[in-house]
Amino acid sequence: MEGVAALKARVRESGGPELLERLEWLDAERALPPVGAPPVRAPERGTRVDFDVVLAGGGLSLLYAPVLAGLGLKVGVFERGRAGVSHREWNISRPELQPLTESGLFTSQEVDSLIIARYAHGVCRWHGGGEYPVVGALDQAVDAGRLLSEVRTRAEARGVRFHEGHTLRGMGEGPDAVRLHFERAGDVQVDVTARLVLDARGVSSPFATADLMCPTVGGVLTGLREGTAPDEVDPRVGDILVTTEGVEEGRQHIWEGFPGRPGEVTVYLFYYAPSREVRGEHALLRLYGRFFERLGRYKRGEPRLLRPTFGYIPGWSRLVPPPRAPGRRVVLVGDAAARHSPLTYCGFGATMRSFLPGARAIAAALQEDRVPGGPLVHDTPLHAVTGGLAMLMASPSREPALRGELNGLLDAAFASLHEMGNGPYAALIKDQMVGTDFVRFLALVARRRPRVYREVLALARHGPLATARWLEGLSRAVFQLRDAA
């Protein structure tokens, strides 16, 4: 394994000293042992609150704020940095953006103006296997920075108050309110009360206890060669999931590439791993070192990094209990809830499915002086099954002779999807596959790769409860998806 000093030199040369400094800080934060929150005095019954809802975090979950305010609630957004900022694009299909219009936040024309690129199709391609195109999935590149900026403008127009430079240090829940303790620059202490808290702090939330982690690096690049070859950029094609080698250093590394504005491509490199293994190992630094070293295997050219994107994305296999908040008046949303797809970790799609019904459920509950019941973030039954595949991807065999086995399994799965036709294939990517198609998909994969169930049952090494949860999830998903169809 390459030394840390050499990795730092490569990242500094290719990404600049500021990127290296930010990576070192984030890796160091991840390496710290969990620190218990300081005790916060719970508000007494009848305490007059400052807000109906506090949103802790100002990323994609900012979408909740203007909708809640439009439903008559007093909303505050507290963010340790700048709220409503993004440095990349997000990909999705056009119909999945419909909640932006249904919420009243945007007109259809305004939504269309946020789309900066449209693809003829996307592809999934596995090392040593085939290439499988799909139409209508992740085929629209959305200007995330402009979307969040517009959402913030609409939130402010509806009376949402923004408090930036505030780091949440602790919470105390009383019978009908929560007290939040924040720190501001200069060691200023601030206490705020709310009837409900939406924890949108992502992996930095102490309640983001999902069992999988997805270290991700990359960013917006220019200078990649355009063309139709696999190692060139076709502006009309998005790379949804691509591998260029087998398992190395105990990880299956996966690329994504989505063209954006003319000459620009957003490229990611990531892998899945058990959360306990991604701590104190310079994970992002090592991954960025690999990104700069191996980028030429994925796409040729003379790349220049315009805007870096990196972080830890928490994920949940559904083989263990889900992340949960400490009380009834704290609700996890976004990455902190980890309800997005175990296969693509596409938090954008999950948020599009969740923010409008979630906001309506919150408003209805608070208007009746109660708290919303159950998780607010959409989680299709299909995830109970695909979560098992995500766990397999997070724990591949380290035996050199088996380094291509995971790619073989994935190739069999996506070849089966392609055989079924574009409708079911795109539906799986978008978490919309129906039960009858899912049963047929399982049968096709087993026919192509008869040992697949032995591989899935390797989950037993994670304990009998994990195996039982997967089998229960499989049964529940099949029947629930069938009934939904």
Q: Is 347 or 251 the better-scoring residue by pLDDT?
A: 251
Residue type, 162: F
Position 345 scores a pLDDT of 63
Residue 424 has pLDDT above 70, yes or no: yes
Residue 47 has pLDDT above 60, yes or no: yes
Give the mean pLDDT of 344-373. Answer: 91
Position 483 scores a pLDDT of 56
Under a CB-based contact definition with an 8 Å cutoff, are residues 55 and 200 in contact? yes
Residue 403 has pLDDT above 80, yes or no: yes
Residue 469 has pLDDT above 80, yes or no: no
Query: What angle, rounded to 10 degrees, do the helices at 464-484 and 435-448 form?
Result: 130
Domain boundaries, the chain: 4-17+212-315, 383-484
Residue type, 43: P
Among 261-270, 396-405, 469-478, the least confident range: 469-478
Task: Look over the chain and give the mean of its residue pLDDT values, rounded to a whole number.
Answer: 89
Under a CB-based contact definition with an 8 Å cutoff, are residues 323 and 208 in contact? yes
Local confidence band at 278 (pLDDT 50, 70, 90 cut-offs): confident
- Measured distance CA(125)–CA(374) in Å, rounded: 38
Residue 122 has pLDDT above 90, yes or no: yes
The structure's pTM equals 0.92
Q: Contacts by 179-187 with C-beta closer than 8 Å and gap 24+? A: 179/40, 179/41, 179/42, 179/43, 180/40, 180/54, 180/56, 180/78, 181/38, 181/40, 182/78
Under a CB-based contact definition with an 8 Å cutoff, are residues 58 and 82 in contact? yes
Quickly list H helices, 299-368: 347-367
Compute φ and ψ for 290, nearest 5 degrees.
-65, -40
Which are the contacts of 308, defined by CB distance < 8 A and separation ≥ 6? 15, 19, 22, 87, 217, 218, 219
Question: 259 forms bridges with which residues in the sheet?
Answer: 265
3-state secondary structure of 416: helix
Position 484 scores a pLDDT of 54
Position 34 scores a pLDDT of 64
Local confidence band at 287 (pLDDT 50, 70, 90 cut-offs): very high
Q: Strands (DSSP E) along 301-362, which ranges?
A: 301-315, 330-332
Residue 460 has pLDDT above 60, yes or no: no
Residue 103 has pLDDT above 80, yes or no: yes
Residue 462 has pLDDT above 70, yes or no: no
Position 374 scores a pLDDT of 73
pLDDT, tens digit, for every residue of 211-242?
999 999 999 999 999 999 999 999 999 999 99
- Measured distance CA(431)–CA(484) in Å, rounded: 13
Position 473 scores a pLDDT of 66
**Encoded tokens for 356:** 């409008």
Among 95-109, 369-383, 471-485, the least confident range: 471-485
Among 74-78, 318-322, 367-371, the least confident range: 318-322
Burial class (CB in 10 A: 0-12, 13-18, 19+), 166: buried
Position 91 scores a pLDDT of 94
Give the mean pLDDT of 294-305. Answer: 96
Question: 178 forms bridges with which residues in the sheet?
Answer: 173, 194
pLDDT, tens digit, for every residue of 371-396?
998 778 888 888 877 887 888 888 88
Torsion of CA 283, 28, 192, 84, to 10 degrees: -50
Under a CB-based contact definition with an 8 Å cutoff, are residues 19 and 41 in contact? no
- Measured distance CA(394)–CA(287) in Å, rounded: 15
